[in-house]
Amino acid sequence: MDPVRNPYAPGAGQRPPELAGRDKQIEAFEVVLERIARGRPERSVLLTGLRGVGKTVLLNKLRSSAISRSWGTGKIEARPGQGLRRPLSSALHMAVREIAPAHRDPEQVENFLGVLKAFALRATADKGMRERWQPGIDAVLVSGRADSGDMEIDLVELLLDAAALARDVGVGIAIFIDEMQDLAAEDVSAICGACHELSQDGAPLIVVGAGLPHLPAVLTASKSYSERLFSYHRIGRLDRDAADLALTAPAEREGVEFTQSALDQLYSAADGYPYFVQAYGKAAWDQAATSPITDVDVRVAAPLAEEELAVGFFGSRYERATPAEREYMRAMAELSGDDGPVPTASIAEQLGRKPASLSPARDGLIKKGLIFSAERGSIGFTVPHFGRYLRAQSE
């Protein structure tokens, strides 16, 4: 069939043509927005799950929901080793600019932008560097607030001031943070502290974060009360109906159908993971000569989809690992069976090593986002079917 009309989109953070199976999370966020609009207190929101389940896509959808209500929004992607001040100041600058035209007191807005500029300039500790680097905020610097150098104090003051602007306008502000588990411990603590103050104040500003399954543990390690600050949503595989809808709805809009046996094979191959659903759907479409797409088309297309996943989804991540880290992951793969969590003691036994000697490899893989501490004493892959991929590579 015509590849130009192929509706499927297997890309990092790329919205699929049919966002299936996420209605519960979208509806829950609509409730949060409505409650805040009515002056009701609400918690910030966290999305957690493995890679490829559509966290970034859902995060973008929630941002669209906030924008549709005239909220101010900004988004950042956390990176290991990167401080929070610069990206957060840019995101908040964008959010405030969206609501500023509706504010009745331009001087108050200007004053906040001056505070925001001071907050951003604290990102560079060296005074000389601060004088050379400018954050792109066209306002007169206002010193004495949100610029103490203590991240938690500064963030609390900054976000409370931003929330005050939003309250004056009668809207809210939402800051979206992707890959939130990569924030530094100091920044995680500051966000938790700020969210606590915002909640107590009933302020119309929330943080919406997305991250790997161990993100709740990262937050709890920072602040013991963090589990009460956020509304947690675990994003997992699509059930059968949602996976079928993700395939059939876009095809129907193009006048194309699937046979039931084709859908059976596609669900078995993709295992309900949204990224895989798109990858196999795209390959099946390209291989099919006519509608309906059949199980024969899927069988022909499956190796092509798997080859693309092996290079772009699995292989690119595997290549980032050192030889010692690859050895650690291969041991995990041999033990994991269904790719579930593996006891760290079993990995050491598998490799004939002392557990302490494997700490550098384990820590390196965690920092690279390839594995995570699933629970006390066990490790899991952040990428679905990664163990299966590694086992196939060793055959």
Domain interval for residue 374? 322-394
pLDDT of residue 101: 95
pLDDT of residue 138: 81
Q: 155-199: per-residue pLDDT in tens?
A: 999 999 999 999 999 999 999 999 999 999 999 999 999 999 998
Note whether 327 and 362 are within 8 A (CB): no
Residue ranges of E strands in 140-240:
173-178, 205-211, 230-234
Question: 122: how many CB neighbours lie within 10 A of its CB?
Answer: 19
For residue 174, the one-letter residue type is A
Element (H, E) at 34: helix 23-37
Task: Indicate the number of domains in the chain.
Answer: 3
Q: 74-85: per-residue pLDDT in tens?
A: 999 999 889 999
For residue 334, the one-letter residue type is E
Note whether 37 and 223 are within 8 A (CB): no
pLDDT of residue 346: 94
Distance of alpha carbon 152 from alpha carbon 158, whole angstroms:
10
pLDDT of residue 360: 95
For residue 15 the two structure tokens come to 């919205």
Residues 78 and 204 occupy one common structural domain: yes
Lookup result for tokens 């915002």: 198
pLDDT of residue 130: 47
pLDDT of residue 10: 87
Residues 29 and 168 occupy one common structural domain: yes
3-class secondary structure, 374: strand
379 forms bridges with which residues in the sheet? 342, 373
For residue 24 the two structure tokens come to 């519960």
Q: Is residue 388 included in any domain, yes or no?
A: yes
Last residue of a domain, one of 264, 295, 317: 317
pLDDT of residue 376: 80
Per-residue pLDDT, averaged over 310-323, amounts to: 91
Q: 136-153: per-residue pLDDT in tens?
A: 788 888 899 999 999 999
Element (H, E) at 370: none
Sheet strand arrangement including 378-381: 342-343, 378-381, 371-375
pLDDT of residue 125: 53
Q: CA dihedral defined by 178, 378, 346, 323, rounded to 10 degrees?
A: 20
Residues 205 and 250 occupy one common structural domain: no
Sheet strand arrangement including 72-77: 72-77, 173-178, 205-211, 44-48, 230-234
Residue 77: which CATH number? 3.40.50.300
Per-residue pLDDT, averaged over 239-263, amounts to: 97
Rounded to 5°, the CA angle 19-8-28 comes to 10
Residues 33 and 169 occupy one common structural domain: yes
Residues 183 and 95 occupy one common structural domain: yes
Note whether 293 and 256 are within 8 A (CB): yes
Residues 148 and 178 occupy one common structural domain: yes
Residues 229 and 100 occupy one common structural domain: yes
| Helices and strands (H, E) in the chain, number of each type | 17, 8
What residue spans of 288-394 are helical by DSSP H? 295-309, 316-318, 323-336, 344-351, 359-367, 386-394
Q: 323-355: per-residue pLDDT in tens?
A: 999 999 999 999 987 668 899 999 999 999 999
Last residue of a domain, one of 172, 206, 234: 234
Last residue of a domain, one of 317, 341, 368: 317
Q: What is the 3-state secondary structure (H, E, C) of 122-153?
A: CCCCCHHHHHHCCCCCCCCCCCCCCCCCCHHH
Q: 102-137: per-residue pLDDT in tens?
A: 999 999 999 999 999 999 988 765 445 545 556 678
Nearest to 346 by CA among 333, 365, 360, 361: 333
Residues 228 and 168 occupy one common structural domain: yes
pLDDT of residue 126: 45
Q: Is 80 exceeded by the pLDDT of residue 381?
A: yes
Note whether 201 and 160 are within 8 A (CB): yes
3-class secondary structure, 244: helix
Q: Is 60 exceeded by the pLDDT of residue 304?
A: yes
pLDDT of residue 133: 55
Q: Is residue 287 included in any domain, yes or no?
A: yes
Distance of alpha carbon 323 from alpha carbon 371, whole angstroms:
16
3-class secondary structure, 186: helix
Per-residue pLDDT, averaged over 236-245, amounts to: 96
Residues 37 and 62 occupy one common structural domain: yes
Residue 260: which CATH number? 1.10.8
Note whether 224 and 56 are within 8 A (CB): no
Residues 187 and 77 occupy one common structural domain: yes
Q: CA dihedral defined by 67, 147, 167, 135, rounded to 10 degrees?
A: -30
Q: DSSP string covering 195-258, please? A: HHHHHHHT-SEEEEEEE-TTHHHHHHHH-TTGGGTEEEEE-----HHHHHHHHHHHHHHTT--B
For residue 305, the one-letter residue type is A
- Average pLDDT of the chain to the nearest whole number: 92
Q: Give the pairing of strands 378-381 and 371-375.
A: antiparallel
For residue 1, name the pLDDT band (cuts at 50, 70, 90).
confident
